[in-house]
Structure 1
Amino acid sequence: MTTTYTSYQRIAKDLPTSLERVAQKPDVVRETEYYLAKIGDVKSVDDFMADTRLYDYALKAHGLEDMSYAKAFIRKVLTEGVSDDEAFANKLTDTRYADLATALNFAAYDTAATSFDRAQQGVVDKYMRQTLEEDAGADNNGVRLALYFERMAPAVTSTMDILADGALAQVVRTAFQLPMEVAASDIDKQAAYLEKLFDVEDFKDPEKLGTFLERFTALWELENPSDNYDPLAVFGSSTGHGISADLLISINSLKLGGS
């Protein structure tokens, strides 16, 4: 029997090869070729929003595939950019929106925004990693969670960052066998409690991170028999964050419906 840990290790130990397998999938090849051929011709937010294939590709690359319907919301993110601390994306807890606005920085660079590598190959690289994690989750969501945590945790600066991300929080709760009641407690108390359990700086150490993920995958295996879990329970359709209540309020306030 292949365990969650061995499945995760098989992918993670040779990540370039794992990503190359993803890159060779016919549908990935097709959409990537289209993206690279067309993105350089995009000169404005309007151009970008008008091409559904480019739009969907870039959103999936940033883990925002389930937000593709919220076009007015995404338009506001891209229009305001990230240069101003008060820009819409910078005021959102979820950093994926700021990452998107950084990759496609029309606010700062106008018609030249898509000429930069971060808007072209940078987005492609993110798309490959996102697809790899999604494919892993189709077989075992614990593997997807481990790969996601491995990618995101080194950039975490506080336990509050972990609590703001549903998938990161799920990994931590599993690794320390915390009851779901903990997730319902006061957020500041949760953060303080997690600080007593671990130091987020340890996640910057590959060896310590590896040991932590070995613990997580072992406990995930115990709690989630391979044929008895919902792959979308934490991630939603495509993301580790889900859609929070405050985000839904922000979306609704934009009176969606336009493109």
Structure 2
Amino acid sequence: MSFQPVVAGSGLAGWAFLKRTLPAQTDTFNTSPMLQRDTAYFSENIRKIESAEQLVADRRLLRVALGAFGLDADIDNRFFIQKILEEGTLKSDALANKLADSRYSKLSKAFGFGDFATPSTKISDFGEKIVSAYRARQFEIAVGNQEDTMRLAMNAIRELEEVSSTGRSDDAKWYSVMGSPPLRKVMETALGLPASFAQLDLDKQKEEFRDRLNSAFGDGEISQFTSEAAREKLVERYLVMSQLDTGQSMNGGQIALTLLQF
């Protein structure tokens, strides 16, 4: 049996335990036989791939490629993924650019089949980067199988660092957050937004997100999350709000004291 991460419950206590034990747990998880076989196969064979068609034809390679972007569920959607990869991201009418879920455009851009004469698979360190992302995502999934709020918290820390540090405009960063289902979930919960919120016009959603974030943190822009402390603060607020939403036990004093810290 492969190693299963140890998760000591939900909320801030569970998060503190997970952070404290993360280095040791991830090291052990990465030595699991199946993960090692998949990543070794990818590393050894990805440079042979010259087209999207070749990639989707190899299920073992495709599993790692999709898993690195959190798209594991699309493993059987070969025609769809091939089209995403072949059309690239440079043209505004490319399929990946039409989808609300930004993970597809990240996948297509990373592999470069539709954007460049020579795909990224030929770059010497490409396999290593994808394998690293795959390991991280698979560990998050394993954690989520026991406590999904912990998975979403880990994903938010990683994605917020990535999105906030780009040179894109403030609006573009917000659209990236809104286009990532896991990250959007964390942001909605942390800011107390209802599920029906997603039915609003996209620009109205963006402005409401921005206003809520400004009210809660004194800054309405995603750029603030280049700071590790800011990322941690948002995730902690998400975990507290998740407990409240699910009715987990926190007395009035605990709630008031915790929320005053944000």
TM-score for both structures, normalised by structure 1: 0.75
Measured against aligned partners, the alpha-carbon deviations of 1:114-150 in whole angstroms (never above 9, x if no partner) come to 2214530111011011111111111111111111111
Q: After superposition, where does 1:42-61 map in structure 2 within 5 Å?
A: 42-61=49-68
SS in 1 for 2:50: coil
Aligned to 1:101: 108
Aligned to 1:196: 211
Q: CA RMSD in A?
A: 2.6
1:23 Cα deviation after fit: 1.3
Task: Give the letter aligned to residue 7 of structure 1.
Answer: G
SS in 1 for 2:145: helix
Are 1:221 and 2:221 an aligned pair? no
Aligned to 2:186: 171
Please say which of residues 5-14 and 39-48 is displaced more in the overlay. 5-14
Q: After superposition, where does 1:25-104 map in structure 2 within 5 Å?
A: 25-104=32-111
In 1, the alpha carbon distance for the partners of 2:53 and 2:236 equals 45
Q: When the two structures are aligned, how many residues end up with a matched partner?
A: 226
Please say which of residues 198-207 and 9-18 is displaced more in the overlay. 9-18
1:151 Cα deviation after fit: 1.3
1:225 Cα deviation after fit: 6.1
Q: Is the 8 A contact 2:87 2:95 kept in 1?
A: yes
Measured against aligned partners, the alpha-carbon deviations of 1:7-34 in whole angstroms (never above 9, x if no partner) come to 3334445755443233111210111111
Task: Give the letter aligned to residue 74 of structure 2.
Answer: M
Structure 1, unpaired ranges of 5+: 227-259
Please say which of residues 56-65 and 177-186 is displaced more in the overlay. 177-186
In 2, the alpha carbon distance for the partners of 1:6 and 1:21 equals 22
In 1, the alpha carbon distance for the partners of 2:50 and 2:126 equals 12
Measured against aligned partners, the alpha-carbon deviations of 1:71-104 in whole angstroms (never above 9, x if no partner) come to 2221112222334444333343333222222332
Distance of aligned partners of 1:32 and 1:184 in 2 relative to their CA distance in 1, 3 Å threshold: same
Structure 2, unpaired ranges of 5+: 1-7, 165-169, 214-219, 249-262
Measured against aligned partners, the alpha-carbon deviations of 1:25-66 in whole angstroms (never above 9, x if no partner) come to 121011111111222222332322221111122111111111
In 2, the alpha carbon distance for the partners of 1:40 and 1:56 equals 16
Q: Which has the higher contact order (CA 8 A, sep 6+)?
A: 1
Distance of aligned partners of 1:106 and 1:192 in 2 relative to their CA distance in 1, 3 Å threshold: closer
Distance of aligned partners of 1:2 and 1:86 in 2 relative to their CA distance in 1, 3 Å threshold: closer
SS in 2 for 1:94: coil
Please say which of residues 63-72 and 3-12 is displaced more in the overlay. 3-12
In 2, the alpha carbon distance for the partners of 1:28 and 1:172 equals 31
Distance of aligned partners of 1:105 and 1:187 in 2 relative to their CA distance in 1, 3 Å threshold: closer
Please say which of residues 202-211 and 187-196 is displaced more in the overlay. 187-196
Aligned to 2:234: 212
SS in 2 for 1:106: coil
